[in-house]
Amino acid sequence: MRLKDTQKQLIRLTVLLLMALAAASQALPGCPDSCGNVSIPYPFGIGHSSIDKKNCFLEEPLELTCTDSALFQGNVQILNISLAGKMDVLTFIARVCKNDLFGGVETYRTESYLRTPAFTISSEDNKFVSVGCDTYGYLNSFHNGTESSTGCLTRCNSLDSVESMQRSGNCTGIGCCQVDIPPGMKNISLQAYSFNNFNSTSDFNQCGFSFVVKNGNYTFSLDHFKSMPFNQSLTVIDWSVGNGTCDASMHRAGYACKSANSYCDDSPYEYGYRCKCNPGFDGNAYLLHGCQDIPECARNQHNCDSEDHCIETSGSFECFCPDGLIGNGTKEGGGCHPKQKADPFIKIVIGACVGLIALFIGVSWLYLMYQKRKVFKLKEKFFQQNGGIILRQQLSTREDSSQSTTIFSAEQLKKATNNFDESLIVGKGGYGTVFKGLLSNNKVVAIKKSKIVDQSQVEQFINEVIILSQINHRNVVKLLGCCLETEVPLLVYEFVNNGTLFDYLHKQGEVVNVSWKTRLRIATETAAALSYLHSAASIPIIHRDVKTANILLDETYIAKVSDFGASRLVPLDQTEIATIVQGTFGYLDPEYMQSSQLTEKSDVYSFGVVLVELLTGEKPFCFNRAEEKRSLTVHFLCSLKEDRLFDVLQVGILDEENKQELMEVAILAARCLRLTGEERPSMKEVAMELEGIKLTEKHPWINTSKNFLEGQYLLHEAQSSHEHGDSSSAQQNTGYDSLRALELIDIGNGR
């Protein structure tokens, strides 16, 4: 134990000796390190080194002289130099005094100077003072060819006035004034002046004085009016090295920061820089090995509970606890204390807790595995329940695999819709709800979540997937994929971001802005899509729910037919299919309602209603209208028969240029709305006629030979049964004059 204590004492003595040597070697080798009792740290120095004859100073402004044990820079005596960038010096005071000559009075002045840019008057450590009753003083600074000054003045007529204002030797402004010094004043001069050559204060004030003095080092006295007891005042100077910033100087040959554990700090006064030791190091950063590690443990500059528990590290220290003790070794942390033997009962309790924790983790893991397997089984169940096997078989038998249908996982679509957040709902229909979603590849999609379905509706859902997977048309919404792992099946479509045609016609604030040209184009595109479904698809498809709410519009108002939940495939050897009547009130084909025989002409009838909506801007059925106008198709056909077509057109779409087009589309709509399906045109014919009308609009010269007033259109006589029928469904869908007899209509001006 004594040997260890002896070793520790030797280590401490060695550290203290090294510290003393480092403190003593503040100058360059072979250079004087003091003058009198003032230490001279490099970069200051006197003369040349006795070893290599090099300068003992870094640069000329830092060259000092030692005369009679007094240290000078020029004519300024230096009392102390701090490596922190401060220096205590004695500066001369400036004075102005009166001189009696043969009964007259003259004044004489003396000034004080400190001319070097490396030295700056410290603004935080000094005050500028003027003393006298007829005195004003200046502190002048010369920098970059310009002069700036500060100062103060003091005037008083009698000694009594000064005595009444002065207390405890303070410089209050009467007889003695003082001001703060602006930062960065260099190349200074001090001046003192008299206002009236002391004429008004000649009895008690002979001189005036101005000087810079270190804070707290001057006490005013009335005796100073006659004579100042000193010729020089203690002043603090800021000093720096070089004449550029750290960044500009560190790559130059004369860069001053030599020590490995130092850093450069720009001078705050726009001249030069200073070298400082890193935190945890002390010494002279201007010398090669000047910054030494501070021995915090030896100097008791630590927070360890004992010096024996302190270890020196580079730039810092660490506290520790030796073997046999526990703790962190710091005073704040409770220090070090002996280890306590564990109680056997505590060991048993700890062992039991560890066992319970292990058991809990094991049971939790098993439960999670069970839940994961349960979820997997549930997904398999939903996949089969939602027709996944049927869909797989159907897709595998397709010859054209160019348009593959993606099978999405439930997690993918939950993430895309923020777990089906209601704020992302963009529409609701008879067969489900549509959400806006964002896939992981940043593709925006529409996700249709079907309503809870029973087993009988699975075929309908799979039907929509099979139908849409076969369709490739610019005016039919594109199916991207589906998900069958959830209780309700999900379909993923391309996102069409401009709403539905229904919204476009009925929910805008200014419906007049929906121009006839746009309406005609939308009608033509919709007809082309339906014609494609009926005629060009590999297996004919009947939509069975054509309406404006199922016609979507993209950002350029291109029409896209959507919602194929009610659609049916038509075998190539059949022209009609017996089904349960499905559709939307106001759009249903009356013949289909009566016979339950679904044909392509059922879509033609529904499209006729869409044309009437585009012409009139009215909804197909509305109880808020007069009784004879509740059914839009009845009111429209009656107006057409009575030559009042232009009365029912929406306000704002009729002009002299499109009158013929409006009448032609109206006649086409009437043909689509005929009671007997055989008398209706096919969707292919409808699409061609609408294209022809558009072509006439683009090239009016095509139809110049046609006399529009002589146009004849064949319409059917009205069915009397509908005029007197009391069935509400018949009133909606078939209660209008179908104009059975061939009849000529003179359209004239539409009145």
Query: Per-residue pLDDT tens for 440-499?
Result: 888 999 988 876 655 666 666 676 677 677 778 899 988 888 887 777 778 888 898 888
Query: Which range, 100-104, 353-357, 377-381, 429-433, is most confident?
Result: 353-357
Of 357, 351, 322, 354, which Cα lies nearest the Cα of 338? Answer: 322
Q: Dihedral angle at the C-alpha atoms of 352, 355, 357, 358, nearest 10 degrees?
A: 180
For the question of whether the overall pTM of this predicted structure is more than 0.85, the answer is no
The predicted pLDDT at position 2 comes to 46
pLDDT band at 133 (very low <50, low <70, confident <90, very high): confident
User: What is residue 261's DSSP assignment?
Assistant: T
Query: Per-residue pLDDT tens for 567-602?
Result: 666 655 555 565 666 778 889 989 988 888 888 999
pLDDT band at 114 (very low <50, low <70, confident <90, very high): confident
> Mean pLDDT, the chain, as a whole number?
80
Of 496, 606, 509, 607, which Cα lies nearest the Cα of 557? Answer: 496
The 3-state secondary structure of 57-122, one letter per residue: CCCHHHECEEECCEEEECCEEEEEEECCCEEEEEEECEEEEEEEECCEEEEEEECEEECCCCEEEC
Least confident segment among 229-233, 295-299, 457-461: 457-461
Over the Cα atoms of the chain, what is R_g?
A: 52
Of 250, 208, 18, 30, which Cα lies nearest the Cα of 111? Answer: 208
**Residues tagged active-site:** 545
pLDDT band at 149 (very low <50, low <70, confident <90, very high): very high
Of 593, 462, 608, 458, which Cα lies nearest the Cα of 530? Answer: 608
CA atoms within 13 A on the CB side of 403: 15
Q: Is 86 annotated as a binding residue?
A: no
